[in-house]
Amino acid sequence: MKKTLFKLIAFVTVGVMLLGTLVGCGSKDTDGNGDSSAQTENALEKSDDSQSSSSRVDIGVVLPTKDEPRWVQDETRFKEALKDTDYYVEILFSQGSPAKEKENVEALLAKGIKVLIICPHDGSAAAAAAEAAKKEGVTVISYDRLITDTDAIDYYVTFDSVAVGMAQAQYLVDKASGSGNPLYLYAGAASDNNAFLFFEGAWKVLQPKIADGTFVIKNSSEAVALQDKEELTREEMSKIISQVTTNWDFNEAKSKAEAHLTAAKKEDKGDVFILAPNDGTARSIADVFAMDKDVTSYVITGQDAEKASIQYIIDGKQSMTVFKDVRTLVKDAIDMAINVLQDKTPETTGSYNNGEIDVKAKQTEVIVVDKENVKSVLIDSGYYDASEFTGIE
């Protein structure tokens, strides 16, 4: 009996000691040197914030894809822009699918958003998503790309896309001399209204120089057939774009450039000029032209100031890019959304016809960047850090 009682007391004593050890371990934070009560309080505050954010979304943002650096950068900027406000945002990606885009919008509507900021993959197809939001009384802001063929759009925040095309073309004109310079045209996706606006701007500047013989188009029979026409209809632009579209796809741009150079004669090469619609396609096209032994030099355009293309510009592989300061565009979109949430009228600077209505727009300026000013525009302004590149002087 005494023996059994002794064993029981020993068992209880060991149990208490083990419990004390466990409690002692639990009182330390992950660094091993913080106050446990303060640590727990901070964790609860963060948990409450997270819970509030997940159950309440004021502004929904839908971006076209996570496969392009530009849109990942935009995601970061949106989060930073709302960090010090009282508003919650949720950002979703549609991965190039209008069906997924509409699904994303419906998910955000279920969370009670008051403002939808949406950059469509396909401007016309996105009308269904915009109409679903409008039906719920949500203010719809078309971001960067215009949603077309619907009256369910309240505002449009954009860079001046026509000005982008004009800047790209003017750069080619400024670098050209003499006559008969081979010109290769490339465009964005026919499903993207911006692709037409870029091309419209480029044609305005290039067409007079094509007509006077400075440039000779080498890769589009449709463009050659229309080269004497100063202003093109959308249908005429569509014919050209259908021949030279990259669909904003790096691999498609590469394949198209390879096919064009394979079909071109030696005299269609030499010192060439290339209208590339954006940085990703510019790099793919530039790589192809650089590998052709009959191409002695090339001048190629771009836009978006992607890091990879800035390095290409520094290295002399890409000639220029049109810098569209995403910080400004995101700020314009967020300012507009907050004005709506506060029942104020957002500032606008113009309008764009989307095929159904004239949409009030806030436009952001663009800047041409090449090797001469890349440091002052992108590094000195704090947009990028010099350590992200090699060869910056």
Judge residue 25's burial from the number of C-beta atoms within 10 Å of its C-beta, 0-12 exposed, 13-18 middle, 19 or more buried: exposed
Of 238, 278, 356, 274, the closest CA to residue 64 belongs to 278
**Strands 181-185 and 270-275: what pairing?**
parallel
Query: What mean pLDDT comes out for the span 96-124?
Result: 95
Contacts with 13 (C-beta within 8 Å, 6 or more apart), sequence order: none
Residue in the block written with tokens 């996105």: 126
Query: What mean pLDDT comes out for the span 366-372?
Result: 96
- Give residue 337's pLDDT band: very low, low, confident or very high (50, 70, 90): very high
Looking at the structure, do residues 141 and 174 belong to the same domain, yes or no? Answer: no
Of 256, 276, 300, 99, the closest CA to residue 195 belongs to 276
Looking at the structure, do residues 125 and 78 belong to the same domain, yes or no? Answer: yes
pLDDT in tens, 160-205: 889 999 999 999 999 999 999 999 999 999 989 899 999 999 999 9
**In this structure, how many other beta carbons lie within 10 angstroms of the beta carbon of residue 35?**
12
Residue 178 is part of a domain; what is its CATH number? 3.40.50.2300
Given this model, what pLDDT does residue 210 score? 98
Looking at the structure, do residues 193 and 91 belong to the same domain, yes or no? Answer: no
Query: What mean pLDDT comes out for the span 370-380?
Result: 96
Residue 29 lies in a domain: no
What size, in residues, is the chain? 393
CA distances from 287 to 217, 251, 283 (A): 20, 12, 6
Domain around 73 = 55-153+326-364
User: pTM for the full model?
Assistant: 0.73
- pLDDT at 49 exceeding the cut of 70: no
In this structure, are residues 182 and 214 in contact, taking their beta carbons and an 8 Å threshold?
Answer: no
In this structure, are residues 185 and 240 in contact, taking their beta carbons and an 8 Å threshold?
Answer: yes
Looking at the structure, do residues 275 and 333 belong to the same domain, yes or no? Answer: no
Residue 101 lies in a domain: yes
pLDDT in tens, 224-244: 999 999 999 999 999 999 999
pLDDT in tens, 295-326: 999 999 999 999 999 999 999 999 999 999 88
Structure tokens at 133: 């939001």
Residue 4 lies in a domain: no
Residue 220 lies in a domain: yes
In this structure, are residues 180 and 350 in contact, taking their beta carbons and an 8 Å threshold?
Answer: no
Residue 36 lies in a domain: no
Given this model, what pLDDT does residue 392 score? 87
Looking at the structure, do residues 212 and 267 belong to the same domain, yes or no? Answer: yes
Looking at the structure, do residues 197 and 342 belong to the same domain, yes or no? Answer: no
Residue 180 lies in a domain: yes
Query: What mean pLDDT comes out for the span 329-353?
Result: 95
Average pLDDT, the chain: 88
Edge-to-edge strand ranges of the sheet holding 89-93: 89-93, 59-63, 115-118, 139-143, 155-159, 358-364, 350-353
Given this model, what pLDDT does residue 56 score? 84
d(CA 378, CA 238): 34
- pLDDT at 292 exceeding the cut of 90: yes
- Give residue 90's pLDDT band: very low, low, confident or very high (50, 70, 90): very high
Given this model, what pLDDT does residue 1 score? 46
Query: What mean pLDDT comes out for the span 274-278?
Result: 98
pLDDT in tens, 193-229: 899 999 999 999 999 999 999 999 999 999 999 999 9
User: What is the signed CA dihedral for 274, 275, 278, 284, rounded to 10 degrees?
Assistant: -30
Looking at the structure, do residues 242 and 141 belong to the same domain, yes or no? Answer: no
Looking at the structure, do residues 94 and 194 belong to the same domain, yes or no? Answer: no
Which range (24-28, 113-117, 132-136, 378-382) has the least confidence?
24-28
Looking at the structure, do residues 143 and 244 belong to the same domain, yes or no? Answer: no
Given this model, what pLDDT does residue 4 score? 44
Residue 181's SS3 state is strand
Whole-angstrom Cα Rg for the chain: 28
C-alpha 190, offset from chain centre: 17
Looking at the structure, do residues 213 and 310 belong to the same domain, yes or no? Answer: yes
Residue 24 lies in a domain: no
Count of the separate structural domains present in the chain: 2
Residue 46 lies in a domain: no
**In this structure, how many other beta carbons lie within 10 angstroms of the beta carbon of residue 159?**
24
**In this structure, how many other beta carbons lie within 10 angstroms of the beta carbon of residue 293?**
7
pLDDT in tens, 5-25: 444 444 444 444 444 443 333
Given this model, what pLDDT does residue 365 score? 86
Looking at the structure, do residues 186 and 222 belong to the same domain, yes or no? Answer: yes
Residue in the block written with tokens 């005494």: 2
CA distances from 53 to 83, 88, 250 (A): 12, 6, 36
d(CA 370, CA 319): 6
Looking at the structure, do residues 351 and 319 belong to the same domain, yes or no? Answer: no
**Strands 215-217 and 59-63: what pairing?**
unpaired
